[in-house]
Amino acid sequence: MEETWKAVDEYFEKKLKTTDDTMDHILKETDDAGMRQIEVSKAHGKMLYLMAKMVDAKSILEIGTLGGFSTVWLARALPEDGRMATIEANPNHAEVARRNIASAELAALVDVIEGQALDRLPKLMERGYSRFDLIFIDADKENNVEYLKWALKFSHKGSVIIVDNVVRHGRIIDDTEAQAIPYIRQLFDMLEHDGRIESTAIQTVGQKGYDGFLMGVVK
Ligand code: DHB
Ligand code: MG
């Protein structure tokens, strides 16, 4: 089945232009830098861009930059006076991301903030950020619950929050310690009782195998 998922993603790539030279360049640079190819798929990257457009996002927060692939997709949806902050713990990844964002001519809109997200998030206000229209959480899974709490603090009515990798080949419902599953499950436990956000989760297959994302709109 995995081969079929990949082939269908390639079909979408051709028909729907889920990539372009800039994005292909970013993927190559990220790969050449020896980083793991764990960024979102092409179709998923474009979906993030479309979601940001749907809500007319003017401010975006990303937790977990990696090589800047999803960052660039999201930043492309911003108007000229828009702003995006993206937080990356690994200095080498942050460096690759800065270069990739510059190659996409989006450096003026995107603030790549280096450091542990839990250290940097409390200081975003000092950098002039207050509320974000869209927040994408895609960093270390162990801190997902804390990241969601911060995302809610930085939200307004209608803010969209998206969390990557919440299915992990279906392991989310298994009694396993692998792939930070217990921490991902904590996220669902929190949402089960949290009245501040309406959410759903979608299982996905494709280029990146079987996984899924969570999305919600803040009440
Ligand atoms: C993996 C995939 C991701 O999208 C991510 O954010 C972290 C890890 C993985 O496949 O291991
Ligand atoms: Mg991810």
Q: What is the pLDDT of residues 155-211, one digit of tens each?
A: 999 999 999 999 999 999 999 999 999 999 999 999 999 999 999 999 999 999 999
Residue 18, domain extent: 1-218
Mutation choice for ligand 1 from 69, 165, 213, CB with most ligand atoms inside 8 A: 165
Q: Where residue 41 falls among pLDDT bands split at 50, 70, 90?
A: very high
Query: Using CA positions, which residue lies closest to atom 7 of ligand 1?
Result: 38
pLDDT one-digit tens code per residue, 63-96: 999 999 999 999 999 999 999 999 999 999 999 9
Question: Number of folded domains in the chain?
Answer: 1
Q: Where residue 134 falls among pLDDT bands split at 50, 70, 90?
A: very high
- Give the ligand at the shortest distance from the Cα of 207: 1
Distance from the alpha carbon of residue 87 to the mean position of ligand 2, in angstroms: 14
Q: Is the CB of 38 under 6 A from ligand 1?
A: yes
| Spatial distance between the Cα atoms of 125 and 123, rounded to a whole number of angstroms | 5
User: Can you give the pLDDT at residue 161?
Assistant: 98
User: Can you give the pLDDT at residue 76?
Assistant: 98
Mutation choice for ligand 1 from 30, 38, 213, CB with most ligand atoms inside 8 A: 38
Tell me what the mean pLDDT of segment 109-119 comes to: 98
User: Can you give the pLDDT at residue 132?
Assistant: 98
Radius of gyration, CA atoms only, the chain = 16
Distance from the alpha carbon of residue 208 to the mean position of ligand 1, in angstroms: 9
| Spatial distance between the Cα atoms of 62 and 117, rounded to a whole number of angstroms | 10
User: Can you give the pLDDT at residue 149?
Assistant: 98
| Spatial distance between the Cα atoms of 172 and 209, rounded to a whole number of angstroms | 15
Q: Is the CB of 65 under 6 A from ligand 1?
A: no
Domain CATH code at residue 12? 3.40.50.150
| Spatial distance between the Cα atoms of 53 and 14, rounded to a whole number of angstroms | 22
| Spatial distance between the Cα atoms of 2 and 35, rounded to a whole number of angstroms | 22
Q: Is the CB of 165 under 6 A from ligand 1?
A: yes
User: Can you give the pLDDT at residue 167?
Assistant: 98
Mutation choice for ligand 1 from 30, 35, 36, CB with most ligand atoms inside 8 A: 36
pLDDT one-digit tens code per residue, 27-37: 999 999 999 99
179: left (phi over 0), alpha (psi -120 to 50) or beta: left
Q: Where residue 13 falls among pLDDT bands split at 50, 70, 90?
A: very high
Distance from the alpha carbon of residue 39 to the mean position of ligand 2, in angstroms: 6
Short-list 83, 85, 75, CA closest to 111: 85
